[in-house]
Amino acid sequence: MITDWLRAIRVKFLLASIIAVLVGLSVTYWKIGHIDYIYSVLTILGVASLHASIDLLNDYWDYVRGIDKYTKRTRFSGGSGVLPENILSPKNVYIAGIVFLCVGAIVGVYFVTIRGIVIALILIFAIVSVYFYSTKVVNMGLGEVLIILKGMLIVQGTYYVQTPELSTTAIYNGIIVGLLSATVLFANSYPDFEADKRHGRHTLVILFGRKNGAKFFAVFILVPYVLITIGTFAGYTKVYSLVCLTTLPLAVRSVVVLNRDFIAETNLLIVMSNTIWCSRLTGGLLVISLIM
Protein backbone atom coordinates (compact mmCIF):
# COMPACT_ATOMS: atom_id res chain seq x y z
CA MET A 1 0.00 0.00 0.00
CA ILE A 2 2.75 2.45 0.93
CA THR A 3 4.60 1.73 -2.30
CA ASP A 4 1.38 2.38 -4.23
CA TRP A 5 1.04 5.81 -2.65
CA LEU A 6 4.71 6.61 -3.21
CA ARG A 7 4.14 5.76 -6.85
CA ALA A 8 1.04 7.99 -6.96
CA ILE A 9 2.92 10.89 -5.39
CA ARG A 10 5.80 10.34 -7.85
CA VAL A 11 8.45 10.88 -5.20
CA LYS A 12 11.31 11.16 -7.70
CA PHE A 13 9.69 14.25 -9.21
CA LEU A 14 9.41 15.94 -5.79
CA LEU A 15 13.15 16.55 -6.10
CA ALA A 16 12.48 19.50 -8.42
CA SER A 17 10.67 21.45 -5.71
CA ILE A 18 13.14 20.40 -3.02
CA ILE A 19 16.02 21.65 -5.17
CA ALA A 20 14.18 24.98 -5.53
CA VAL A 21 13.97 25.27 -1.72
CA LEU A 22 17.66 24.37 -1.40
CA VAL A 23 18.57 27.06 -3.94
CA GLY A 24 16.62 29.55 -1.82
CA LEU A 25 18.47 28.41 1.29
CA SER A 26 21.80 28.59 -0.56
CA VAL A 27 21.14 32.17 -1.61
CA THR A 28 20.22 32.95 2.00
CA TYR A 29 23.43 31.43 3.35
CA TRP A 30 25.45 33.28 0.70
CA LYS A 31 23.89 36.63 1.56
CA ILE A 32 23.51 36.54 5.37
CA GLY A 33 25.82 33.70 6.44
CA HIS A 34 23.31 31.51 8.25
CA ILE A 35 19.89 29.84 7.98
CA ASP A 36 17.17 28.84 10.44
CA TYR A 37 17.02 25.05 10.32
CA ILE A 38 13.50 24.72 11.72
CA TYR A 39 12.15 27.15 9.13
CA SER A 40 14.11 25.24 6.49
CA VAL A 41 12.53 21.90 7.40
CA LEU A 42 9.05 23.43 7.53
CA THR A 43 9.58 25.05 4.13
CA ILE A 44 10.61 21.75 2.58
CA LEU A 45 7.57 20.06 4.18
CA GLY A 46 5.17 22.71 2.91
CA VAL A 47 6.56 22.89 -0.62
CA ALA A 48 6.82 19.10 -0.95
CA SER A 49 3.22 18.75 0.21
CA LEU A 50 1.98 21.23 -2.41
CA HIS A 51 3.99 19.42 -5.09
CA ALA A 52 2.53 16.06 -4.03
CA SER A 53 -0.93 17.61 -4.16
CA ILE A 54 -0.56 18.85 -7.71
CA ASP A 55 0.64 15.41 -8.90
CA LEU A 56 -2.23 13.58 -7.18
CA LEU A 57 -4.87 15.99 -8.43
CA ASN A 58 -3.36 15.86 -11.91
CA ASP A 59 -3.71 12.06 -11.88
CA TYR A 60 -7.29 12.37 -10.70
CA TRP A 61 -8.39 14.90 -13.30
CA ASP A 62 -6.57 13.12 -16.15
CA TYR A 63 -8.47 9.97 -15.21
CA VAL A 64 -11.84 11.73 -14.89
CA ARG A 65 -11.37 13.56 -18.20
CA GLY A 66 -10.44 10.33 -19.94
CA ILE A 67 -6.96 11.43 -20.94
CA ASP A 68 -5.43 8.33 -19.33
CA LYS A 69 -7.40 6.12 -21.73
CA TYR A 70 -5.39 7.46 -24.67
CA THR A 71 -2.06 8.18 -22.99
CA LYS A 72 0.75 5.68 -23.39
CA ARG A 73 2.71 5.76 -20.16
CA THR A 74 6.50 5.87 -20.11
CA ARG A 75 8.93 6.00 -17.20
CA PHE A 76 8.79 9.77 -17.33
CA SER A 77 5.37 10.75 -18.69
CA GLY A 78 1.70 9.82 -18.70
CA GLY A 79 1.09 10.10 -14.95
CA SER A 80 1.62 7.47 -12.27
CA GLY A 81 -0.84 4.96 -13.74
CA VAL A 82 -2.36 4.03 -10.36
CA LEU A 83 -5.90 4.93 -11.49
CA PRO A 84 -6.11 3.32 -14.95
CA GLU A 85 -4.52 0.19 -13.44
CA ASN A 86 -7.10 0.23 -10.59
CA ILE A 87 -4.39 0.24 -7.95
CA LEU A 88 -6.00 3.13 -6.05
CA SER A 89 -9.49 4.55 -6.23
CA PRO A 90 -10.13 7.99 -7.80
CA LYS A 91 -11.90 9.13 -4.63
CA ASN A 92 -8.93 8.26 -2.40
CA VAL A 93 -6.44 9.91 -4.76
CA TYR A 94 -8.54 13.08 -4.82
CA ILE A 95 -8.85 13.11 -1.01
CA ALA A 96 -5.10 12.57 -0.63
CA GLY A 97 -4.46 15.46 -3.02
CA ILE A 98 -6.66 17.74 -0.91
CA VAL A 99 -5.00 16.55 2.32
CA PHE A 100 -1.53 17.39 0.98
CA LEU A 101 -2.87 20.73 -0.22
CA CYS A 102 -4.13 21.43 3.31
CA VAL A 103 -0.79 20.44 4.85
CA GLY A 104 1.01 22.83 2.53
CA ALA A 105 -1.54 25.53 3.32
CA ILE A 106 -1.16 25.05 7.08
CA VAL A 107 2.62 25.44 6.86
CA GLY A 108 2.09 28.49 4.67
CA VAL A 109 -0.38 30.06 7.12
CA TYR A 110 2.18 29.64 9.91
CA PHE A 111 4.73 31.58 7.89
CA VAL A 112 2.10 34.20 7.05
CA THR A 113 1.64 34.84 10.78
CA ILE A 114 5.33 35.55 11.25
CA ARG A 115 6.26 37.06 7.88
CA GLY A 116 3.12 38.81 6.68
CA ILE A 117 1.65 39.87 3.35
CA VAL A 118 4.39 38.71 0.96
CA ILE A 119 4.10 35.10 2.10
CA ALA A 120 0.30 35.43 2.08
CA LEU A 121 0.33 36.44 -1.59
CA ILE A 122 2.69 33.60 -2.50
CA LEU A 123 0.53 31.13 -0.56
CA ILE A 124 -2.70 32.24 -2.23
CA PHE A 125 -1.10 31.93 -5.65
CA ALA A 126 0.26 28.48 -4.77
CA ILE A 127 -3.07 27.10 -3.50
CA VAL A 128 -5.08 28.43 -6.44
CA SER A 129 -2.56 27.25 -9.05
CA VAL A 130 -2.21 23.78 -7.49
CA TYR A 131 -5.95 23.17 -7.40
CA PHE A 132 -6.71 24.53 -10.86
CA TYR A 133 -3.54 23.37 -12.63
CA SER A 134 -5.04 20.28 -14.27
CA THR A 135 -8.42 21.80 -15.14
CA LYS A 136 -7.72 25.43 -16.05
CA VAL A 137 -4.02 26.26 -16.28
CA VAL A 138 -3.01 23.58 -18.79
CA ASN A 139 -6.16 24.22 -20.83
CA MET A 140 -4.95 27.79 -21.35
CA GLY A 141 -1.46 26.71 -22.39
CA LEU A 142 0.13 28.14 -19.25
CA GLY A 143 1.58 24.96 -17.73
CA GLU A 144 5.22 25.75 -18.47
CA VAL A 145 4.75 29.41 -17.51
CA LEU A 146 3.31 28.37 -14.15
CA ILE A 147 6.28 26.06 -13.52
CA ILE A 148 8.70 28.92 -14.14
CA LEU A 149 6.73 31.15 -11.76
CA LYS A 150 6.61 28.32 -9.23
CA GLY A 151 10.39 27.99 -9.24
CA MET A 152 10.86 31.72 -8.84
CA LEU A 153 8.32 31.97 -6.00
CA ILE A 154 9.71 28.96 -4.12
CA VAL A 155 13.23 30.39 -4.16
CA GLN A 156 12.08 33.91 -3.25
CA GLY A 157 9.59 32.60 -0.70
CA THR A 158 12.25 30.44 0.95
CA TYR A 159 14.59 33.43 1.09
CA TYR A 160 11.85 35.68 2.49
CA VAL A 161 10.97 33.21 5.24
CA GLN A 162 14.60 33.26 6.34
CA THR A 163 15.42 36.97 6.07
CA PRO A 164 12.58 38.44 5.51
CA GLU A 165 13.49 40.49 2.43
CA LEU A 166 12.84 40.56 -1.28
CA SER A 167 15.95 39.76 -3.29
CA THR A 168 16.79 40.17 -6.97
CA THR A 169 19.38 37.41 -6.50
CA ALA A 170 16.72 35.02 -5.21
CA ILE A 171 14.35 35.94 -8.04
CA TYR A 172 17.11 35.53 -10.63
CA ASN A 173 18.09 32.08 -9.38
CA GLY A 174 14.41 31.19 -9.04
CA ILE A 175 13.90 31.86 -12.74
CA ILE A 176 16.83 29.55 -13.53
CA VAL A 177 15.32 26.79 -11.37
CA GLY A 178 11.87 27.36 -12.86
CA LEU A 179 13.21 27.08 -16.40
CA LEU A 180 15.01 23.84 -15.56
CA SER A 181 11.76 22.30 -14.27
CA ALA A 182 9.64 23.71 -17.10
CA THR A 183 12.02 22.15 -19.64
CA VAL A 184 11.32 18.74 -18.10
CA LEU A 185 7.58 19.35 -18.48
CA PHE A 186 8.16 20.46 -22.07
CA ALA A 187 10.04 17.27 -22.97
CA ASN A 188 7.64 14.99 -21.09
CA SER A 189 4.63 16.38 -22.96
CA TYR A 190 5.83 15.00 -26.32
CA PRO A 191 4.58 11.41 -25.75
CA ASP A 192 1.23 12.80 -24.55
CA PHE A 193 0.74 15.02 -27.61
CA GLU A 194 -2.25 13.20 -29.14
CA ALA A 195 -4.04 12.47 -25.85
CA ASP A 196 -3.59 16.04 -24.57
CA LYS A 197 -4.74 17.56 -27.86
CA ARG A 198 -7.81 15.31 -27.99
CA HIS A 199 -8.94 16.48 -24.55
CA GLY A 200 -8.29 20.21 -24.79
CA ARG A 201 -4.91 20.57 -23.17
CA HIS A 202 -2.59 23.19 -24.61
CA THR A 203 1.04 22.37 -23.84
CA LEU A 204 3.84 24.24 -25.61
CA VAL A 205 4.28 21.24 -27.90
CA ILE A 206 0.65 21.51 -28.97
CA LEU A 207 0.79 25.30 -29.36
CA PHE A 208 3.96 25.23 -31.48
CA GLY A 209 3.51 21.83 -33.10
CA ARG A 210 5.97 19.00 -32.60
CA LYS A 211 8.46 20.14 -35.27
CA ASN A 212 8.59 23.81 -34.28
CA GLY A 213 8.38 22.77 -30.64
CA ALA A 214 11.60 20.80 -31.03
CA LYS A 215 13.33 23.97 -32.26
CA PHE A 216 11.90 26.04 -29.42
CA PHE A 217 12.97 23.34 -26.97
CA ALA A 218 16.58 24.08 -27.92
CA VAL A 219 16.16 27.67 -26.77
CA PHE A 220 14.26 26.64 -23.66
CA ILE A 221 16.87 24.19 -22.38
CA LEU A 222 19.87 26.43 -23.12
CA VAL A 223 18.58 29.65 -21.52
CA PRO A 224 19.43 28.53 -17.93
CA TYR A 225 23.09 28.13 -18.93
CA VAL A 226 23.08 31.62 -20.42
CA LEU A 227 21.53 33.05 -17.25
CA ILE A 228 24.03 31.24 -15.02
CA THR A 229 26.93 32.59 -17.09
CA ILE A 230 25.58 36.16 -17.17
CA GLY A 231 24.85 35.89 -13.46
CA THR A 232 28.52 35.37 -12.63
CA PHE A 233 29.29 38.80 -14.11
CA ALA A 234 26.15 40.50 -12.73
CA GLY A 235 26.64 39.16 -9.20
CA TYR A 236 23.54 36.94 -9.15
CA THR A 237 25.50 33.69 -9.26
CA LYS A 238 29.09 32.89 -8.31
CA VAL A 239 32.06 32.05 -10.48
CA TYR A 240 31.79 28.56 -8.96
CA SER A 241 28.36 28.35 -10.59
CA LEU A 242 30.04 27.88 -13.96
CA VAL A 243 30.45 24.25 -12.87
CA CYS A 244 26.80 23.94 -13.99
CA LEU A 245 28.05 24.12 -17.57
CA THR A 246 29.39 20.58 -17.15
CA THR A 247 25.82 19.32 -17.74
CA LEU A 248 25.60 21.16 -21.07
CA PRO A 249 26.39 17.99 -23.11
CA LEU A 250 23.19 16.41 -21.73
CA ALA A 251 21.20 19.41 -22.89
CA VAL A 252 22.82 19.42 -26.33
CA ARG A 253 22.17 15.71 -26.79
CA SER A 254 18.50 16.19 -25.88
CA VAL A 255 18.21 18.93 -28.50
CA VAL A 256 19.94 16.90 -31.21
CA VAL A 257 17.91 13.72 -30.56
CA LEU A 258 14.57 15.56 -30.36
CA ASN A 259 15.14 17.49 -33.58
CA ARG A 260 16.23 14.32 -35.34
CA ASP A 261 13.07 12.38 -34.45
CA PHE A 262 10.25 13.66 -32.25
CA ILE A 263 7.95 10.68 -32.84
CA ALA A 264 9.83 7.44 -32.02
CA GLU A 265 9.39 6.39 -28.40
CA THR A 266 13.01 5.27 -28.05
CA ASN A 267 14.20 8.75 -29.03
CA LEU A 268 11.73 10.47 -26.73
CA LEU A 269 12.86 8.30 -23.82
CA ILE A 270 16.45 9.46 -24.42
CA VAL A 271 15.31 13.09 -24.56
CA MET A 272 13.21 12.84 -21.39
CA SER A 273 15.91 10.98 -19.46
CA ASN A 274 18.64 13.43 -20.47
CA THR A 275 16.43 16.43 -19.75
CA ILE A 276 15.55 15.21 -16.26
CA TRP A 277 19.18 14.45 -15.44
CA CYS A 278 20.20 17.80 -16.89
CA SER A 279 17.63 19.64 -14.77
CA ARG A 280 18.38 17.87 -11.51
CA LEU A 281 22.17 17.87 -11.83
CA THR A 282 22.29 21.51 -12.89
CA GLY A 283 20.03 22.49 -10.01
CA GLY A 284 22.10 20.48 -7.55
CA LEU A 285 25.36 21.99 -8.76
CA LEU A 286 23.82 25.45 -8.52
CA VAL A 287 22.98 24.78 -4.86
CA ILE A 288 26.54 23.66 -4.10
CA SER A 289 28.15 26.53 -6.02
CA LEU A 290 26.20 29.21 -4.15
CA ILE A 291 27.34 28.05 -0.70
CA MET A 292 31.01 27.57 -1.66
pLDDT at 141: 77
Mean pLDDT value across residues 99-126: 95
pLDDT in tens, 122-144: 999 999 998 888 778 877 778 88
Reported residue count of the chain is 292
Determine what percent of the chain is predicted with pLDDT higher than 70: 99
pLDDT at 118: 95
pLDDT in tens, 184-236: 999 988 888 887 787 777 788 888 888 999 999 999 899 999 999 999 999 99
pLDDT at 81: 82
- Cα(181)–Cα(155) distance, rounded to whole angstroms? 13
**What's the mean per-residue pLDDT of the chain?**
91
Which amino acid would we find at residue 157? Answer: G
pLDDT(282) > 90: yes
Domain positions in the chain are 2-291
pLDDT(116) > 90: yes
- Cα(40)–Cα(34) distance, rounded to whole angstroms? 11
Peptide bond into 90 cis (omega under 30): no
Q: Residue 68 — very low, low, confident or very high, per pLDDT cuts 50/70/90?
A: confident
Cα dist from 55 to 14, 122, 260, 274, whole Å: 9, 19, 31, 21
Contact 138, 79 (CB under 8 A): no
- Cα(21)–Cα(27) distance, rounded to whole angstroms? 10
27-36, long-range: CB within 8 Å, 24+ apart, which pairs? 27/155, 27/159, 27/167, 27/169, 27/170, 27/173, 27/290, 28/158, 28/159, 28/162, 28/163, 29/290, 29/291, 30/169, 30/238, 30/290, 30/291, 31/163, 31/167, 31/169, 32/162, 32/163, 35/162, 36/162
The pTM of this model reads 0.93
pLDDT(96) > 80: yes
Mean pLDDT value across residues 38-55: 95
pLDDT(37) > 80: yes
